[in-house]
Amino acid sequence: MKIGVLALQGAVAEHIRMLELAGASEARTVKKVDDLHDLDGLVIPGGESTTISKLMHKYGFMEEIRKFGLEQRPIFGTCAGAILLAKRINGQDDAHLQLMDIKVERNAYGRQKDSFEIKLPIAGVASDFPAVFIRAPYIMEISDRGQVLAKHEEKIVAAREGHYLAAAFHPELTEDYRFHKYFLEMVKEYRS
């Protein structure tokens, strides 16, 4: 199983480490569009979604990652990565990749809670997952095809829709690789 991590900005090395711990046979950085062609799955890390989006346009990733998703190859977006996957962003006319049928609200948590960690139950993953939120978004709307995996204070913070997986928090910033393992199971499912 070959998994790539989009390496334009954000916690790239941390995702690679977690994918390796979770059992990926190969996890590597994706710095140019050619790096996508033999991958079974892709992780889009957190960072700042408008910055990542600009870099994606600049290096030709927008169309290529869209194709990647439309070919049913799994994509896991964390924090800014989830915003990039979304079809709709609250208060913005245009979204980015527009692959996953969710609407997100950016920077959804108040100032005193800009950054925090909390244990959350995540369906199919863990009953006590350490979720690190950093200026995190949340998912306001999800389609009938989507599945809510986790909520925090009534807000959806993790979801899956077929081969798309989105988390509002940063699963790569802890020692817990169970969420990455869940993604690898998804990749396996779509590869066969």
* Nearest distance in Å: CB 140, ligand GLN: 14
Nearest residue (CB) to ligand GLN, 96 versus 181: 96
Judged by CB under 6 A, the chain residues 122 through 151 that form the site for ligand GLN are 134-135
Residue 106 marked in a binding site = yes
Judged by CB under 6 A, the chain residues 76 through 95 that form the site for ligand GLN are 79-80, 83
* Nearest distance in Å: CB 122, ligand GLN: 18
Which H or E run includes 190?
helix 178-191
Task: Check if the beta carbon of residue 2 is closer than 8 Å to that of residue 28.
Answer: yes
The CA-based diameter of the chain, rounded to the nearest angstrom, is 45
Nearest residue (CB) to ligand GLN, 83 versus 97: 83
Q: Is 49 in the site for ligand GLN (CB under 6 A)?
A: yes
Token pair for 184: 């690898």
Coil, helix or strand at residue 169: coil
Q: Dihedral sign, CA of 137, 143, 147, 153?
A: positive
Q: How far is CA 83 from the centre of its chain?
A: 8
Q: Which residues are at the interface with ligand GLN (CB under 6 A)?
A: 46-49, 79-80, 83, 106-107, 134-135
